Amino acid sequence: MAKDFRDITLALAGICQASRLVQQVAYQGNANENDVEVMVNSVFNLNPTSTLDVYGNQISHLKLGFQTLKAIHQAVRREKLTLELMTYQQGLINLERLINRNDNYSSHLSQKISQLERQKSYFEPMSESVFNALAGVYVDAVSPVGPRIQVHGSIDLLNTPIIQAKVRALLLTGIRSAVLWRQVGGRRFDFLLHQKTILRQADDFLAQC
């Protein structure tokens, strides 16, 4: 069956957007709230009607992700920040792969997210409670799975509890997109065999943002 590179590119942009937001929060202490909210809401969307529905049914919601995807895979020189983004992207994909291969890990993560989804109404949107809850799921159900993703940034910021929570919460949103990427047919060799197709699709989406 032919690959649907539209859906693959959307999910990959989700991974890239999460990666870029992690980087922004780690270095600056903040990021665009709308971009963050799109990613946070994706975790709670357990029964989407389409790939785009995961991200609020608006292509523009992933504009940062498309831009980051291009920055990672079109870079002529591998600058420090670009290398970090590549590491985050691949780290999220690899962690999700390990989770998917182990029924216990996969079941545990699903249970934690389902439990969190049922509790969502008790949280104020985009509050510290939301970030702490998402971070708790990451620490409990993702961190033990395999090699931890080493996040670079301001030491002072990364030692702040709320920044730690936001970083872990955003990493969890990246795992959500990595799950989606695999479900729609994304595979690691796509970066070698179909990079031009993916980047062309990203350009098409950016033109609609």
pLDDT for the residue 78: 66
Report how far residue 42's alpha carbon sits from residue 183's, in angstroms, rounded to the nearest whole number.
15
Report how far residue 149's alpha carbon sits from residue 182's, in angstroms, rounded to the nearest whole number.
19
Listed as ranges, residues in the chain with pLDDT below 70 are 1-2, 75-78
pLDDT for the residue 189: 86
pLDDT for the residue 75: 66
Report how far residue 178's alpha carbon sits from residue 167's, in angstroms, rounded to the nearest whole number.
16
Distances (CA, A) of 78 to 12, 26, 85: 20, 20, 10
pLDDT for the residue 143: 95
